[in-house]
């Protein structure tokens, strides 16, 4: 998930963030109505290709429907309770990163971010929408900006760390086989990226010397690349790193570890949700162990960091089904598909309508999608109410 665009500026004279000076920020990312419709059409197109053209070549939808029909009301109630619990837990990183945010508003933040991004993809503007909602709750410019921006970074780091947890589970349980090789490879690659990225983040916020060195090095690398591409523009990497440090350094030092642990808990929670979904549709532990499912979940979690499909539509389902079926065998493919669909119902589909309902409630009396002028007004610290308990 992309991090939020800056909505504050750095005063070069004082070295402090000036909350009163407007910058383009998320206003640049707000699409027009026509662009929003086109982006939504991308999602529908991907869903059509995956679920109408590709999946029917491998599974029988009648078997999938039959698996859903076999679900009892108590099973549906349990899965719904687990789904709501997963939404609440998914909001905990926001609670950790934004001071004063309640668990309910943390969950609302996750639902808005995910649901809007899934329905109108291709850009980080959903973070701009969430930013203005959080500002409307009375959160100041700097905590809203740094909290939402850091969420994007820490969420990705937690996903990179998930394969390591999966490998530990495989080792502890003694599970081997087809899941093991993929888990080892993905774990090695993702752990390297996880350690390097975490080290860079900590170095920037904890050491002036490290931030200066990274800024100079990054500037040289960017200049070299742009020279080879014959581009005349030159981003100020050093200034960007110091701006990042000034804006989020205190949050990382004070709340970074808690937010990281909360983000890892989110990954584990959705893996548990996938295990529960497969169990209720009839996939037993003898067919797919919890360790096998965790390994595939971790693999998909890392692969989908790269935005393969707009709004995360279709591709995660294909990856889950392919990975789990490779371990369980083709005879279980339809039942596995039903389990994956059930989990994704709560993780991807239901957050879309709920997000728009939450946005409508938060934007009562205003257009659901904020205008550029409104975003700039909020960036000036105008239009937002005083901080209120949440």
CB 18 within 8 A of CB 11: yes
The whole-number pLDDT of residue 5 equals 33
- Token pair, residue 98, equals 């934004």
The whole-number pLDDT of residue 175 equals 62
Beta bridge partners of 9: 18
Instruction: Characterize 123-156 residue by residue with b for buried, 16 or more Cβ atoms within 10 angstroms of its Cβ, and e for exposed.
Output: bbbbbbbbbbbbbbbebbbbbbbbbbbbbbbbbb
Report how many domains make up the chain.
Answer: 1
Q: In which domain, by residue range, is 314 found?
A: 9-379
In a domain, 129, yes or no: yes
C-alpha closest to that of 99 among 132, 128, 158, 140: 140
Which pairs with CB-CB distance under 8 Å and at least 24 residues apart come from 124-127?
124/1, 124/2, 124/3, 124/4, 124/5, 124/26, 124/29, 124/152, 125/26, 125/29, 125/30, 125/31, 127/1, 127/2, 127/3, 127/4, 127/5, 127/26, 127/29, 127/152
Instruction: Indicate the average pLDDT of the chain.
Output: 81
Q: 286-341: per-residue pLDDT in tens?
A: 999 998 899 899 889 988 888 777 677 788 999 999 999 988 988 999 999 999 99
The whole-number pLDDT of residue 321 equals 94
Longest dimension (CA), the chain: 68
In a domain, 354, yes or no: yes
For residue 6, the Cα-to-chain-centroid distance in whole angstroms is 18
The whole-number pLDDT of residue 176 equals 52
Cα–Cα dist 104/73, whole Å: 26
CB 23 within 8 A of CB 372: no
The whole-number pLDDT of residue 388 equals 40
Q: Tokens 């869903």 map to which residue?
A: 47
The whole-number pLDDT of residue 20 equals 35
The whole-number pLDDT of residue 387 equals 42
CB 48 within 8 A of CB 309: no
Beta bridge partners of 18: 9
What number of CA atoms fall less than 13 Å from residue 56's CA on the CB side? 8
In a domain, 3, yes or no: no
The whole-number pLDDT of residue 225 equals 83
Cα dihedral value 240, 246, 247, 252, nearest 10: 110
The whole-number pLDDT of residue 338 equals 96
In a domain, 323, yes or no: yes
In a domain, 151, yes or no: yes
Residues of the chain with pLDDT under 50: 1-28, 178-180, 382-390
């Amino acid at each position: 998930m992309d991090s939020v665009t800056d909505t504050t500026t750095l005063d070069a004279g004082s070295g402090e963030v000036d909350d009163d000076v407007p910058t383009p920020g998320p206003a640049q990312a707000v699409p027009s109505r026509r662009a929003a419709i086109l982006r939504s059409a991308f999602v529908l197109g991907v869903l059509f290709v995956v679920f109408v053209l590709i999946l029917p070549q491998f599974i029988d939808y009648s078997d999938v429907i039959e698996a859903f029909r076999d679900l009892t009301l108590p099973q549906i109630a349990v899965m719904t309770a687990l789904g709501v619990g997963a939404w609440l837990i998914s909001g905990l990183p926001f609670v950790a990163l934004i001071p004063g945010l309640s668990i309910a508003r943390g969950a609302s933040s996750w639902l808005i971010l995910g649901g809007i991004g899934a329905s109108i993809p291709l850009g980080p503007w959903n973070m701009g929408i969430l930013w203005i909602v959080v500002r409307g709750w009375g959160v100041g410019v700097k905590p809203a900006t740094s909290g939402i921006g850091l969420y994007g970074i820490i969420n990705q780091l937690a996903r990179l760390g998930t394969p390591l947890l999966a490998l530990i589970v495989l080792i502890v349980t003694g599970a081997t086989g087809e899941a093991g090789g993929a888990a080892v490879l993905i774990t090695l690659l993702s752990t390297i990226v996880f350690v390097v990225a975490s080290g860079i983040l900590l170095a920037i916020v904890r050491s002036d010397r490290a931030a200066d060195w990274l800024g100079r090095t990054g500037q040289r690398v960017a200049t070299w690349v742009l020279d080879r591409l014959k581009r005349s523009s030159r981003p100020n990497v050093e200034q960007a790193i110091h701006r990042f440090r000034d804006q989020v350094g205190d949050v990382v030092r004070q709340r970074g570890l808690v937010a990281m642990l909360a983000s890892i808990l989110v990954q584990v929670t959705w893996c548990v949700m996938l295990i529960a979904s497969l169990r209720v549709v009839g996939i037993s532990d003898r067919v797919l162990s919890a360790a096998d499912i965790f390994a595939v979940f971790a693999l998909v979690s890392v692969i989908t960091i790269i935005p393969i499909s707009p709004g995360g539509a279709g591709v995660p389902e294909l990856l889950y089904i392919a990975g789990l079926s490779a371990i369980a065998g083709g005879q279980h493919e339809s039942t596995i598909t039903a389990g994956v669909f059930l989990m994704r119902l709560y993780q991807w589909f239901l957050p879309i309508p709920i997000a728009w309902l939450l946005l409508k409630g938060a934007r009562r009396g205003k257009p659901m999608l904020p205008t550029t002028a409104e975003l700039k007004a909020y960036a000036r610290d105008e239009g937002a109410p005083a901080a209120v308990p949440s």
